[in-house]
Amino acid sequence: MNVIWATVIILATIVIYVLMKRVYEQYRFPLLVPTATTTLILVVLLLFYHIDYKQYMVGGKWIGELLGPAVVALAYPLFKNKHILKKYGFSLSLGVIGGALVGIFSGIYLSVLLHIDSTFIKALAPKSVTSPVAMDVAMMTKSSPSLAAVYVMIAGISGAVFGNILLKYCHVNHFVGIGAAFGTGAHGIGTAKALELGEEEGAISSVAMTLSAVVTVLLCPAAISFILNA
């Protein structure tokens, strides 16, 4: 029974995503980014049919297992564009480190100003890195890994939907700046969006995503401890 149910979940998710991708390719409206629309439709369907998260994850976890190979596949455009990384390596590193620090401290300080509970602050701080890293950071800081994963999803979808608009508004049009912004601020989902814009943007974004995760793991626990105990 579990095998049948898992198959249904996997097929339903894939079909919805493919349909939403076709809609997005036809209209190219930012709010129609397939990751966002697929998530919204799935949430509505789960609520309508009273299916809880654990039931969905019987099949959903197998889709999640594809995240690893997908990240590894990003090494291909990275290898093809290694000459770009050599040329812009220093400026890219500085930009990503700065972006990661802004991502960490902006979430913490905004939460402190709004008097949000410390559990939520700890989960919000690593919001701009990929889910496994954010969940590990949440466990290190004795917060909720599940809550951290939710914040990561929100950050990623928001970046994919509004990132390009914000970059155009700020007149960021160089592929290094675009790729660094998506990878640092919106992790894997942002990198997928960057790949839509170009292979060079996608390669830079994958590097930015990795470097941002390293910076976050090293500095986030210390930053949370310093601010909450200050």
Provide the pLDDT for residue 1.
Answer: 54
User: Do both 27 and 48 map to the same domain?
Assistant: yes
Low-confidence ranges of the chain (pLDDT < 50): none
Asked whether residue 53 falls in the same domain as residue 81, the answer is no
Query: Do 59 and 8 contact (CB within 8 A), yes or no?
Result: yes
| Burial of 143 (C-beta count, 10 Å sphere; 0-12/13-18/19+) | buried
Domain C-terminal end among 65, 82, 111: 65
The predicted structure's pLDDT at residue 14: 93
Residue 119 and residue 29 share a domain:
no
Asked whether residue 52 falls in the same domain as residue 98, the answer is no
**What is d(CA 19, CA 25) in angstroms, rounded to the nearest whole number?**
10
116 plus 14 within the same structural domain: no
Task: Report d(CA 8, CA 117) in Å as an integer.
Answer: 39
Per-residue confidence (pLDDT) for residue 15, from 0 to 100: 95
47 and 77 share a domain? no
Domains contained in the chain, number: 2
What per-residue confidence (pLDDT) applies to 144?
Answer: 84
Domain boundary among 19, 44, 65: 65
Same domain, 36 and 113: no
Tens digits of residue pLDDT in 22-74: 999 898 888 888 988 999 999 999 999 888 888 888 888 888 778 777 767 77
Whether 92 and 61 share a structural domain = no
Residues 97 and 154 grouped into a single domain: yes
Q: Which domain holds residue 220?
A: 73-228
